[in-house]
Amino acid sequence: MQNNTPYILFLTFVLLVTVSFFLLIKDFLLACFWAIILAVVFDPVYQRIRQYFKNSEILPLLLTMIMIILVFVIPLLTITLMITEESTILYQKIQGGEINPQIFFQETLAFLLPIFNKFSYMEALSVDEISASAGNAVAQAIKYIAQQVPGLTQNLLALIVQFSLTFYILFFLLRDGHHIIRKLISLIPIGDGIEKELFERFTSVARATVKGGLIVAVIQGSIGGLLFGFVGIPAAFLWGMLMIVLSLLPIGSTLIWAPAAIILFLQGQTLNAIIVLGVGILVIGLIDNFLRPRLIGKDSKMSDYLVLVSTLGGLAWFSLTGFVLGPIIAALFITCWDIMGLEIQTSKRKIT
């Protein structure tokens, strides 16, 4: 017991220092997380660029950073500005009476509610009550988005700091990432084989989520937004952004374009309904089957139900970051239990 006391005290000290360190940098953990994700996703690109510039260490890093800015930062800033601008304009039109969401719902519910009330055992629902509630909910949602503009302006300095820190950390992770992983594997007292498997699982799920999830979602949402604009649906860009978010989930953007086709048909716009339905099925719906496998490649995938639950849980816990962090936690959970099962089976075989 006496011989183990110094070691136990040292482990306690290490634990306290580690917790203190994470509390120290807790306000910047989001920047660190995205730096790690971007480094994991773009490391193959960086390694390929290094093959063409073997005599330079800085140039491949700079080219990779520029590519990340062009692929992620500029589109993200553009989309954010467009969402806030369009939501502000739309809310002003609703406030001025130019657009009335209640009338839109009245036209649709006037056809659907009588059918529902006929076959339902519940008390008959009123078109006016439901359309007023739905219209108010839409107006409040758009108002909330529009009110985020001052908040973004006020927190501009904090956003600049987070972005700058992300790319500063990313620079060193791209350059020294493989060395850091080898160092962690040698330091973490779990077992090199288990640690390598966990790191590989983290890498594969991160790449699969970003490449096969985010890129496909952006393409699907962009097509959906353009489609809605073509057939004259108001706030087409906002609907496109909502389709991007839903496309991150296995349920997909069908929850947007399918009801839109039905509503157009009920409103007598048969041609527009057919166009939305055709593009939704033949283009948006088939993108997953053709594009997602090519973007993911050999990266591992999880069951659809597990992706759905982990993504929703991640979004609830960590907001937008959760669409990546949720599936990663789920994948590590499964991997840890798989490893434990294999270890138990191995131990049983040795005993017998």
Q: What is the pLDDT of residues 39-67, one digit of tens each?
A: 888 888 888 888 888 788 888 888 999 98
Contact assessment for residue 267 and residue 107, using Cβ atoms and an 8 Å cutoff? yes
C-alpha angle 147-151-155 in degrees, rounded to nearest 5: 165
Q: DSSP for 132-180?
A: HHHHHHHHHHHHHHHHHHHHHHHTHHHHHHHHHHHHHHHHHHHHHHHHH
Cβ partners under 8 Å of residue 223, min gap 6: 279, 283, 284, 287
Entry pTM: 0.69
Q: Tens digits of per-residue pLDDT, 211-247? A: 777 778 888 888 888 888 888 887 777 788 778 877 7
Handedness of CA 34, 37, 40, 46 (dihedral sign): negative
Q: Angle 289-290-291 (CA atoms, 0-180°, nearest 5)?
A: 110
User: What does the angle CA 167 – CA 171 – CA 176 come to, to the nearest 5 degrees?
Assistant: 145
Residue 232 φ/ψ region, left for φ over 0, alpha for ψ in the -120 to 50 degree band, beta for the rest: left
What is the block-wise mean pLDDT of the chain (352 residues), using blocks of 10 residues?
A: 71 88 87 88 88 84 88 74 70 67 58 52 50 60 59 65 88 86 76 76 79 78 87 79 74 78 80 88 78 58 72 77 80 81 74 66
